[in-house]
Chain A
């Protein structure tokens, strides 16, 4: 393997077989990969079996950005450094247009690769998606099957009646019964 002057590259393979070549520093943003690389037990190609190519692309994008931030803030003080606000805006933009299934996959990937920042971004996005939604809307969004019996559902509903007032979906369900 050619080392010294050139940056060390790491190859990652997604579950659907696509191979990505990234700099080692980028891969190391993922703690799981970092541990692997440091313990020197990574092969020429690291298969990441639970992450599909489009998701991995997104993850790598994130990692690249993290590397860019950290390098710019360490070498030159301040000019390129982001404020908290900018970081937030960037995170929002990064997560923009991510649908629920992609989001789930991203969360799984960032949890698996142990990328805390991305995980937090994903969780925040998830929260904003669930927030203010009725149970049926949440179920539709994430393809969750309602496994409550009508009695059980009625019981929880009664317990917290105030939080679910005016739930159009609930009325629909009970009237169709």
Chain B
């Protein structure tokens, strides 16, 4: 074994080198070191060898078996040549990242060398290895191979971004470890981390990263409170409460300036702000006497901090009752409705009253006919197209299979008259479509929520109706009895884990000697959807001070916010109740931090709240 062999042919020389036993190793090591300066092809080949797990293993096995037979047969040589070419392309695929991240200090300290060409980095890495001695380099090969394997395993099914492989990790960490750390940060901290450097930003903005956060359950709830009034002015400011860091944040949303009495709902990771009023005479003031009611709908995205406008509703509404349907992306509104209407039609023929039937059925059908190439048998063709769409979806990304449909019902119209109409919005087509009116004797809707694919509305006259989006009609729901409630306090429907819940305030039953004085209590009720009976779930420990308390449910938890003025001070209380465990349903305070002390008392009336997992 001599230096000249190495010089002559890089690759074969390397192989023999790896087979040498430890007594000759140091000599060869020195030889390689000398060679490094002269021949650039040698390090590259050596590098390729390092990365190959397969080769390293075969080498080490050989090493064990044949111990000192340096000059083994041609056959083995060929075999190894094959695997070495295999490892070259493996390296090309991105094993290089590991090499870059894991080598010795000399390499790691080169923070500012980050933008050096990858070739330069390879050479540096190589030098580091060869200096530390050949014997180490041999195991290094193995280790890198392992690391490469782990790397590939951890990214199963994902392509390794070639752009990132040659980049040095800023804090010396391999990408996947850094990613793990960043994924576990609460959202607001993540936003700060995103600002640290380009690399961190690139890592944290990828779709893969957000998905990892969602899957790993590292998202935490954020409560967004809208409609704050400060010094008589509707500033449009949004208050966000990050539960994990126990902190309030203020978000400027100039598009919401001057607007009040709107409704909000969370859709995916965005918030829809629907309808509302603004004062005509003194803009920005909370002045109901001369206000304009809006049709417009805005979408606020907390992730980008931006606000955009989407299609306006058909009619102006303030404080509409809104809900969000989750439907499979295979059906757009019209298509799914079309399908449902067939059922509906055949039913109505069987003698069901047509009172609540969708008046727009026929116009809808006309609309639909155009894109579907006029046909003699519309029903059949719709069925087909429906199926076709579904089929396509099956092939595409499964994660995005669900999409949302927004429903807005009731509220007050242009002249503050209560409305009994409703409409639905499809974000894909960006269109609102009117739906059937509420049942005639239903009364004014005071609350509503989507549960199990139906929109439930509760009226001030204690009636419950459900709108089925596929059937396109309202159904009155008869329940055994309604929970007792005080009329002044708005009931609030919430839904989580497919359970329909309602919060309402009633007089406390007199329980014997202790509570002689009558007092009001807020209770959480659940409607058993099969037996249609309400049952008490829990009792809110706080005295109900706010008749317009906001309640939202998300992922097994019900969040509540009461805001009221007492002793000349506006106070707010955030409470939460985990209803997923039936044994310990209890309300607790989320935070002792208040936001309302800087707000006007009128905020109590205008506030609304949504919760998002970020």
| A residues lining the B interface (CB < 8 Å) | 15, 32, 35-36, 39-41, 43, 46-50, 100, 104-105, 107-108, 111-112, 114, 119, 123-124, 126-127, 130-135, 138-139, 142-148, 153, 156-165, 167
Contact = CB atoms under 8 A, between A and B. Distances in A.
Given A36-B142, A160-B191, A145 B60 contact: no
Interface in B303-326: 303-306
4 pairs of A and B residues whose beta carbons are closest in the complex: A163-B191, A142-B171, A162-B251, A41-B60
A127 B196 contact: no
Given A50-B102, A50-B103, A135-B192, A123 B60 contact: no
B146 A35 contact: yes
B334 interface: no
B305 A160 contact: yes
A126 B181 contact: yes
A36 B171 CA distance: 29
Interface stretch (B132-140, B396-404, B485-493): B132-140
Contacts of A156: 194-195, 201
Contact of A162 (B147, B185, B249): B249
B173 interface: yes
Contacts of A43: 135, 139
Nearest to B190: A163
B61 interface: yes
B132 A104 contact: no
B150 A139 contact: no
Contacts of A164: 191-192, 195
Given A41-B57, A159-B305, A132 B197 contact: no
A163 B249 contact: yes
Nearest to A162: B251
Contacts of B260: none
Interface residues of B, number: 62
Contacts of A49: 103-104, 129, 132, 136, 139-140, 143
Given A49-B136, A138-B193, A162-B251, A127 B306 contact: no
Contacts of B187: 163
B245 A132 contact: yes
B57, B143, B188 pick with most chain A CB within 10 angstroms:
B143
B185 to A, nearest CB: 6
20 contacts: A15-B104, A32-B143, A32-B147, A40-B64, A41-B60, A47-B135, A100-B171, A104-B171, A123-B177, A130-B182, A131-B189, A133-B189, A139-B196, A143-B170, A143-B171, A159-B304, A160-B303, A162-B240, A163-B191, A164-B192
B177 A107 contact: yes
A10 to B, nearest CB: 13
B197 A108 contact: no
A30 to B, nearest CB: 11
B198 A119 contact: no
Contacts of A123: 177, 180-181, 184
A41 B142 contact: yes
A126 B181 CA distance: 6
Interface in B101-117: 101-104, 111-112, 114
A123 B176 CA distance: 11
Contacts of B171: 100, 104, 142-144
B93 interface: no
Given A15-B132, A145-B112, 16 more contacts: A32-B150, A41-B61, A41-B63, A47-B140, A50-B104, A107-B177, A107-B181, A111-B177, A114-B150, A124-B184, A130-B193, A143-B171, A153-B195, A160-B304, A161-B305, A162-B302
B197 A145 contact: yes
A119 B111 contact: no
A161 B197 contact: no
A151 to B, nearest CB: 13
Nearest to B193: A130
Nearest to B115: A147
A131 B111 contact: no
Contacts of A100: 171
B422 interface: no
A47 B64 contact: no
B250 interface: yes
